[in-house]
Amino acid sequence: MRKRTGGMNRRGFLKGAAAAGALAVVPRHVVGGPGQAPPSETIAVGLVGCGGQGGEDVNSYIKNAGGAYRMIAACDVHEGRLANARKKFGEHVYLYTDFRRLLERDDIDVVSIATPPHWHALVCIAAAQAGKDILCEKPMTRFIAEGRAVVTAVKRYGRVFQIGTSGRFGAYRSPHGRLIHKIMRSGLLKQCPAVHIHKGGFPVKRYCGRVNLQPEPVPGNLDWDLYCGPSPLRPYHPHRFGWSHRYYWDYEGGSLADFAQHYMDPFQWTYGKDDTSPVEVEACAAPAHPEACGLWAWVELTYADGLTLVLDGNEWGPRYDRKQRHQLSLDDLDEETRNKVEALADPEPPRTFVEAVKTRKRSAGHVEAAHRAVTIAHLSNIAIRLGRKIRYDPVKEEVIGDAVANRLVYQPMREPWHL
């Protein structure tokens, strides 16, 4: 057995947590037995963020993928959510209010991150440095530079990373999806005529934040300062906490940030864009508020090879009517190129997170693909917030000739937090 460390105490809430864990009855899955995975096959998990999504990724990407896990510890800045985590996962679970203490444990294999997105990057980087594999809820990050920092850390420390979406499994199962993937990855198509329009699916109106919020007292069971963390320390209001944090630039980025990772994951794989980003972005949107996410109609993103991606909100404003949908096919190739593409082998099937952990190879939702997918949402939001077209360098990962836009690419963090 590896040595265990105790939990933190804060306001008396966690008093006796270590003792409770030590006295818990050891379940059968810890020692193995009929119908139970042995310890060597059981993934030890630490959960950071115990809200509504807390623990769901563990079930989706470990349990439902044929793996077995044991929840070792949980962390949250809200005491009520910590109490719920113990009820959900058992009295043996150690409780923490600071994720850094959880990461100090040497009996955790995987960290599942289900905090609001403004915390994702820092927890991911710290988890990689601590030698943990990572399950990260979507969206992967709050701004673009965070994503590159996470990619660097995951690769440097040799960790397995899985974003909280798995749409590319469906894309792989589609014969036409595999065909497009082969065409795009072959390098034989020099100019791509495809126009991919994602119409609807973004709850634009619901995801608008409130303006002129009146400050309210911070609940006694919430560490508001640590909740805000690297984001600005605004006065507390319940609309900035919980589900509706998604409606504010400080923590997420509206419906684009919340949903685009799901929609762009299969798109990225199908069109072979896991290692690049659009070079030109234009949006049709209402004037943006500096704190609250607002209304937008559509965003048009163009890649260097001519591929056009359109995100059509379909809830507000003028409809997108610039380019008609064009589905890429073999008909877009000359006969010689078509024969070469048809002769190519099918792409390798995507791996589940469990397979990736066992083989130490990339998972389906690997870190570079996740970063490039959420960059689409971030670039869209930058164009929306600025109200103008931007040109982007996908290699340097910066907006070309636009210092104001680049302040949204690499946003400042509140001290002492930094990338």
Q: What is the DSSP string of 178-198?
A: HHHHHHHHHT--SS---EEEE
Q: What is the mean pLDDT of residues 28-32?
A: 41
What radius of gyration do the chain's Cα atoms show? 22
Domain of 379?
Answer: 168-207+250-346+366-409
According to the model, what pLDDT value does residue 37 have?
Answer: 62
**In-domain check, residue 236:** no
pLDDT band at 52 (very low <50, low <70, confident <90, very high): confident
**Distance of alpha carbon 15 from alpha carbon 399, whole angstroms:** 50
Contact 134, 159 (CB under 8 A): yes
According to the model, what pLDDT value does residue 39 have?
Answer: 60
User: What number of CA atoms fall less than 13 Å from residue 211's CA on the CB side?
Assistant: 8
Q: What is the mean pLDDT of residues 183-195?
A: 95
Of the candidates 378, 356, 416, 308, which has an alpha carbon nearest to the alpha carbon of residue 61? Answer: 356
**Which secondary-structure segment (H or E) carries 283?**
strand 280-285
**Distance of alpha carbon 305 from alpha carbon 382, whole angstroms:** 22
Identity of residue 102:
L
According to the model, what pLDDT value does residue 57 have?
Answer: 94
Residue 280, domain CATH: 3.30.360
Looking at the structure, do residues 154 and 46 belong to the same domain, yes or no?
A: yes
Q: What is the mean pLDDT of residues 43-55?
A: 94
According to the model, what pLDDT value does residue 16 have?
Answer: 35
Is 0.95 topped by the overall pTM? no
Q: Exposed, middle or buried by CB within 10 Å (0-12, 13-18, 19+), for 25?
A: exposed
Q: Considering only 27-31, 220-224, 308-312, 360-364, which range has the smallest mean pLDDT?
A: 27-31
Looking at the structure, do residues 129 and 196 belong to the same domain, yes or no?
A: no
Looking at the structure, do residues 194 and 124 belong to the same domain, yes or no?
A: no
**In sequence order, what are the residues at sequence separation of 6 or more whose Cβ sits closer than 8 angstroms to the Cβ of residue 226?**
77, 97, 98
Structure confidence by residue, pLDDT tens digits, 105-149: 999 999 999 999 999 999 999 999 999 999 999 999 999 999 999
Contact 62, 84 (CB under 8 A): no
Contact 139, 258 (CB under 8 A): yes
Structure confidence by residue, pLDDT tens digits, 375-419: 999 999 999 999 999 999 999 999 999 999 999 999 999 999 999
3-state SS, one letter per residue, for 216-253: CCCCCCECHHHHHCCCCCCCCCHHHCHHHHHHECCCCC
According to the model, what pLDDT value does residue 3 have?
Answer: 34
Average pLDDT, the chain: 91
Q: Which of 132, 163, 194 is the last residue of a domain?
A: 163
- Has residue 182 got a pLDDT over 70? yes
Structure confidence by residue, pLDDT tens digits, 154-165: 999 999 999 999
Tell me the percentage of the chain whose pLDDT exceeds 70: 90
Bond before 347 cis per omega within 30 degrees: no
- Has residue 26 got a pLDDT over 60? no
**In sequence order, what are the residues at sequence separation of 6 or more whose Cβ sits closer than 8 angstroms to the Cβ of residue 105?**
4, 5, 46, 72, 73, 94
Buried-state track 297-330, b at ≥16 Cβ within 10 A, e below 16: bbbbbbbebebbbbbbbbbbeeebeeeeeeebee
Bond before 416 cis per omega within 30 degrees: yes
Tokens of 268: 């990225």
According to the model, what pLDDT value does residue 15 have?
Answer: 37
pLDDT band at 36 (very low <50, low <70, confident <90, very high): low
**In sequence order, what are the residues at sequence separation of 6 or more whose Cβ sits closer than 8 angstroms to the Cβ of residue 415?**
none
Looking at the structure, do residues 281 and 199 belong to the same domain, yes or no?
A: yes
Number of domains comprising the chain: 2
Looking at the structure, do residues 195 and 83 belong to the same domain, yes or no?
A: no
Looking at the structure, do residues 68 and 130 belong to the same domain, yes or no?
A: yes
Looking at the structure, do residues 159 and 175 belong to the same domain, yes or no?
A: no
- Has residue 349 got a pLDDT over 50? yes
Distance linking the first and last C-alpha atoms of the chain: 34
Looking at the structure, do residues 264 and 285 belong to the same domain, yes or no?
A: yes
Highest mean pLDDT among 15-19, 50-54, 309-313: 309-313
Q: What is the mean pLDDT of residues 270-275?
A: 97
Residue located via tokens 């792409």: 347
Q: Where are the beta strands (DSSP E) in 35-169?
A: 42-48, 68-75, 94-96, 110-113, 133-136, 161-163
**Distance of alpha carbon 382 from alpha carbon 361, whole angstroms:** 33
- Has residue 96 got a pLDDT over 90? yes
Contact 333, 341 (CB under 8 A): yes
Residue 126, domain CATH: 3.40.50.720
47, β-bridge pairs: 74, 112
**Distance of alpha carbon 375 from alpha carbon 382, whole angstroms:** 10
pLDDT band at 53 (very low <50, low <70, confident <90, very high): confident
- C-alpha 248 chain-centroid distance: 17
pLDDT band at 41 (very low <50, low <70, confident <90, very high): confident
Contact 417, 122 (CB under 8 A): yes
Looking at the structure, do residues 102 and 133 belong to the same domain, yes or no?
A: yes
**In-domain check, residue 242:** no
According to the model, what pLDDT value does residue 369 have?
Answer: 98
Looking at the structure, do residues 330 and 400 belong to the same domain, yes or no?
A: yes
Tokens of 332: 């877009």
- Has residue 6 got a pLDDT over 60? no
The backbone torsions φ and ψ at residue 302, rounded to the nearest 5 degrees and listed phi first, read -120, 135
Q: What is the mean pLDDT of residues 27-39?
A: 49
**Distance of alpha carbon 384 from alpha carbon 386, whole angstroms:** 6
The backbone torsions φ and ψ at residue 397, rounded to the nearest 5 degrees and listed phi first, read 55, 60
Looking at the structure, do residues 257 and 311 belong to the same domain, yes or no?
A: yes
